[in-house]
Structure 1
Amino acid sequence: MLRSSVVIIEPSSSGLDLIAAVARAGYHALVFSYDAADRVVPAAALRRWGAELVVLDTNDPAAVLQGASQAARSQQIVGVLPGFEFYVPVAAQLATHLGLPGLEPAAGQRVRDKHLMRRALEAAGIAGPRFRLISDTSELEAAAAQVGYPLVVKPTRSAGSIGVSLASCLDEVRAAYAAIAYEPTLDLGTRLGPDVLLEEFVPGPEYSVEGFVQHGRTAVVSITEKLVSDPPHFVELGHTVPASIEPATERQVVSWTAEVVRALGIDCTVFHLELRLRDGIPHVIELGARLPGDSIGSLIEMSRGVSLADLFVQLATGQQVDHPTVQSSCVAAIRFFYEPGLDIVNSAPTDSELHTLPNVVTGAVTVSPGDRPNGRADFRSRLGWVLMTGADRRSVDRSWKAVKETARFT
């Protein structure tokens, strides 16, 4: 009898949680990875959960399909999962090829390409910012005038707020476009440009909605409150579960989320929907048909008692998923150390010092003396993090204040 395996394509960040979730579900994890440069799966994660590594070019859909065909000779593939944002389309393509649950390939492209996403939402009448796509500097001035200032400049196919900035004049748009279009560094083997989206800036508090959709039925598991740095950049500084939000607004957001899901045509997946409330009306920032990053999944599991990774495995393997029982046992939060004025790190706390602080569950320092953390105006400029729990939001805020007073970066 062939063993039942679930393919995970290039797991990274929160996608690494899928390896454990596949093992917990009683399946064999078949991990597809390029296994070089910035596409390497930690060997310890593979060993711990008995996962099998298949080395191939995960940025080449033909290589992924061929790798799955070869693996299917010795095992039964029962599910396909994207391990990161970039691999949602190829996971959808492979699942369809194998006749397994998952996104339709066109939907996979819609949630990966922010311009396609904007067009689909606009066609469905979902509230969102004005936008224009540009692929050349000759289009900048006219497109910016149509969108209006201030506007947000962002790559169409990236993640982690990389390349995202606020521009208040044409010179700033030109500089932001150049930073994206001519960025020499590859991110997981891909470039940021040349396609760039200009969007109307949407003011207001920012949240994310985490949930899943199966057979057209949308279920919201949690709403996360987000902390973001001041413009011109949008560095995520923390997340809190559950969000402090009025019950009527929460009901509105839940109902609206189902409309967004239908407009994008996603199914058989978990999702991470980012939004801003402008004058009480939710506006889509973007939606990812994958696990949320920044340990939001861990916050939800600690606070709400639900594992999004386990749900994703169930969806991918065709199990009927009922709305999980959500039990709010505490407030869970992650906060990131961020010092935009720090040119060079001279001293930093240690991980062990973070772990001794009140209400800190875990944490890590991600810089060392001599580092210049602000060379990148995105998540890579963060200095470290702590994950905290408390009985309520106020206690978490007090804990974070105490952490900042004790754990200093100079």
Structure 2
Amino acid sequence: MRKDLPAVLLVDPVRNGAGYKAAARDLGFAVASVYTLGFSTDIPGHDEDDDFSLHLSDPYDVVRQVVQLGLDIRAVVPAMEAGIHRADQIARLLGLPGNDPSLAWARRNKAAMRTRAREAGLSIPEFRLVHTLEEIRAAAHDIGFPVISKPTMGSCSQGVTVLSDAAALDALTVLETHDMYQQPITEWLVEQYVRGREFSVNFFSSHGEHRIIDMWEYRQPDERDYDFPIWDNVQIDDSHPDYRRVESYVRQVLDAFGIVHGPSHTEVKCTPEGVYLMEIGSRLPGGPAVHMWAQYSKVRAYRDALTCYLGDRPTIMDEPLEFRARYGAMAIRNEKAPGTLVAIHGIEALKGHPGIGDILVGYQPGDHIRVTRQQDDIPFGATVSGADEEEVVRTMGLIRSLVSLEIVPDLPAKPPVTSARENETP
């Protein structure tokens, strides 16, 4: 235990935890971590490299424990999406830099997010907050098809369902009961489905000033409505026809949601009529973005984010980011039926091809594999880099031409067998 050093407090550091802990030590700080959910403490080794570990969820309890321990906390860092709203409340109670705590819930709960966006005059889809399957059906008919249903506290597309027509709504008979953080799902957002291009936008903010880091487009294989966006995700630049208006809209979102310190990840959809908010998160992006920044630019996400939360200005706010390549990430999805994975063919053929980075294999032969509806269900993925966007897209196409899934579909459930006597009419 290092009470002789000032410390940073990491809130739920189980996904980006190792990066933040290393950055804190590099800057000369002890590491105090607070785990607010059972999801966090269930992960083996979750508290590895902590100098102090707290297992509390109420911000006031966290602050009381910090004071009792005599910790000299200099920054509070939201290290996972589930703890974002608590981190900002803790920072305010400790008198440390953070984002507006009065808007913390709106940055986490999708229904509160829509309400805040509407109050701020931002364009958003028409929506309803519902609590049952029957209310989902009523809201869908009220708004008009197509709609999309999503848990208000969900993540990684879990439980998200696009309902393009009445037949799709009739087929929705079961709802997810718990989110990926093992918390009960008690409410859903039903909103108008926006048919348009989808983008994710990553910023860093320091004292209310915003610096765009990069923008990605979520590209799909065809024009069908979708509820899981990861297929070909490609970094774009300001030559893209939608780049400037998306960037301008996201800057308005950051101001409207009180984001003044640290990284943010915003997802929007873009149509000829306007740009629409899908989600705002005051956190680092998931997926491969942070790793690819470290490979191909001057951005050191964990150190730069921690610098922001310390109330200092990171150099990336002012200096050129110096991207040395364009990049992207792609997924091969199981889009047919659940079944047993026999093999992922073609992985060996990828070796030695320039521009192919990390290979991500989510299942092994013999595993049961679901239809890909959320991030944890991706069977195969890869990161890609190249001199320009065209090269990145060509490499993704090459991977798709070489890699395929062999799956034995599940057998349909057999109807119950009854005897002739049971079928007789009395």
Give TM-score scaled by structure 1 length.
0.87
What residue in structure 1 maps to residue 130 of structure 2? 134
1:34 to 1:94, Cα distance in 2 relative to 1, 3 A = closer
What residue in structure 2 maps to residue 219 of structure 1? 211
What residue in structure 2 maps to residue 21 of structure 1? 23
Alpha-carbon distance between aligned partners in 1 of 2:288 and 2:255, rounded to the nearest angstrom: 27
Alpha-carbon distance between aligned partners in 1 of 2:347 and 2:208, rounded to the nearest angstrom: 44
What residue in structure 2 maps to residue 288 of structure 1? 281
Q: Report sequence identity in percent.
A: 22
Tell me, yes or no, if the aligned pair for 1:373 and 1:380 is still in contact at 8 Å.
Answer: no
Alpha-carbon distance, 1:32 to partner: 2.5
Residue 315 of structure 1, aligned match among 308, 314, 329: 308
Tell me, yes or no, if the aligned pair for 2:33 and 2:52 is still in contact at 8 Å.
Answer: yes
Tell me, yes or no, if the aligned pair for 1:225 and 1:244 is still in contact at 8 Å.
Answer: no
1:266 to 1:174, Cα distance in 2 relative to 1, 3 A = farther
Q: Does residue 201 in structure 1 map to residue 193 in structure 2?
A: yes
Residue 102 of structure 2, aligned match among 96, 100, 106: 106
- What are the equivalent positions in structure 2 for 1:155-234 lying under 5 Å apart? 155-169=151-165, 172-173=168-169, 176=172, 178-180=174-176, 183=177, 185=178, 187-191=180-184, 193-228=185-220, 230-234=224-228
- What are the equivalent positions in structure 2 for 1:9-48 lying under 5 Å apart? 9-33=11-35, 39-40=41-42, 43=45
Alpha-carbon distance between aligned partners in 1 of 2:142 and 2:133, rounded to the nearest angstrom: 15
What residue in structure 2 maps to residue 339 of structure 1? 334
Which amino acid counterpart does residue 83 of structure 1 have in structure 2? A
CA deviation vs aligned residue, 1:257-289 (integer Å, no higher than 9, x gap) = 221112212221211010111116221111111
Alpha-carbon distance between aligned partners in 1 of 2:387 and 2:16, rounded to the nearest angstrom: 25
Residue 62 of structure 2, aligned match among 55, 61, 64: 64
Alpha-carbon distance between aligned partners in 1 of 2:364 and 2:53, rounded to the nearest angstrom: 34
What residue in structure 2 maps to residue 236 of structure 1? 230
SS at match of 2:194: coil
What residue in structure 2 maps to residue 52 of structure 1? 51
Root mean square deviation of aligned Cα: 2.8
1:83 to 1:352, Cα distance in 2 relative to 1, 3 A = farther
Alpha-carbon distance, 1:33 to partner: 3.0
**Most deviating of 133-142 and 324-333:** 133-142
What are the ranges of 5 or more consecutive residues in structure 1 without an aligned counterpart?
none
What residue in structure 2 maps to residue 246 of structure 1? 239
SS at match of 1:94: helix
Say which one has the larger Rg.
2
1:155 to 1:350, Cα distance in 2 relative to 1, 3 A = same
What residue in structure 2 maps to residue 76 of structure 1? 72
**Most deviating of 287-296 and 383-392:** 383-392
What residue in structure 1 maps to residue 111 of structure 2? 115
- What are the equivalent positions in structure 2 for 1:270-309 lying under 5 Å apart? 270-279=263-272, 281-309=274-302
1:356 to 1:265, Cα distance in 2 relative to 1, 3 A = same
Alpha-carbon distance between aligned partners in 2 of 1:17 and 1:169, rounded to the nearest angstrom: 44
Alpha-carbon distance between aligned partners in 2 of 1:35 and 1:155, rounded to the nearest angstrom: 18
Alpha-carbon distance, 1:38 to partner: 5.7
Alpha-carbon distance between aligned partners in 2 of 1:404 and 1:330, rounded to the nearest angstrom: 21
What residue in structure 1 maps to residue 423 of structure 2? none
Alpha-carbon distance, 1:228 to partner: 4.8
Alpha-carbon distance between aligned partners in 1 of 2:72 and 2:202, rounded to the nearest angstrom: 30
1:178 to 1:317, Cα distance in 2 relative to 1, 3 A = same
**Most deviating of 281-290 and 352-361:** 352-361
1:347 to 1:53, Cα distance in 2 relative to 1, 3 A = farther
CA deviation vs aligned residue, 1:315-354 (integer Å, no higher than 9, x gap) = 1111124334222311111222312226220123698875
Tell me, yes or no, if the aligned pair for 2:232 and 2:396 is still in contact at 8 Å.
Answer: no
Alpha-carbon distance between aligned partners in 2 of 1:11 and 1:349, rounded to the nearest angstrom: 35
Alpha-carbon distance, 1:142 to partner: 4.0
SS at match of 1:89: helix
CA deviation vs aligned residue, 1:348-367 (integer Å, no higher than 9, x gap) = 36988755443222222120
SS at match of 1:106: helix
1:372 to 1:66, Cα distance in 2 relative to 1, 3 A = farther
What are the ranges of 5 or more consecutive residues in structure 2 without an aligned counterpart?
407-426
SS at match of 2:105: helix
Alpha-carbon distance between aligned partners in 2 of 1:382 and 1:141, rounded to the nearest angstrom: 29
What residue in structure 2 maps to residue 326 of structure 1? 321
SS at match of 2:344: coil
SS at match of 1:236: coil
Residue 85 of structure 1, aligned match among 81, 87, 90: 81
Q: How many residues matched? A: 399
Alpha-carbon distance between aligned partners in 2 of 1:15 and 1:291, rounded to the nearest angstrom: 12
Alpha-carbon distance between aligned partners in 1 of 2:349 and 2:277, rounded to the nearest angstrom: 39
Tell me, yes or no, if the aligned pair for 1:153 and 1:173 is still in contact at 8 Å.
Answer: no
CA deviation vs aligned residue, 1:212-251 (integer Å, no higher than 9, x gap) = 223222221211122357544324224222x155366323
Give TM-score scaled by structure 2 length.
0.84
